[in-house]
Amino acid sequence: MGGDTLDDGIYKEVDMSNAGSATDINFTVKKADIYEISFIYAQDP
């Protein structure tokens, strides 16, 4: 979980296709319009 989370699209697909509980968190975060933070945070490391 790092190289594949480079793109927002890939991250969404992976999180929705690979993750179960993480999907809930990601969905909530996206709804709060804070998905940008997740995207940046994933690119940081």
Q: What is the pLDDT of residue 33?
A: 56
Pairwise CA distance, residues 20 & 43, whole Å: 22
Q: What is the largest CA-CA distance in the chain?
A: 25
| One-letter-per-residue 3-state SS of 12-23 | HHHHHHCCCHHH
Domain locations in the chain as residue ranges: 8-43
Task: Give tens-digit pLDDT for 1-45.
Answer: 455 545 555 555 555 444 455 555 555 555 555 555 555 556 655
> What pLDDT is recorded for position 5?
47
pLDDT at 19: 47
Q: d(Cα 26, Cα 12) in Å, to the nearest integer?
A: 8
pTM comes to 0.15
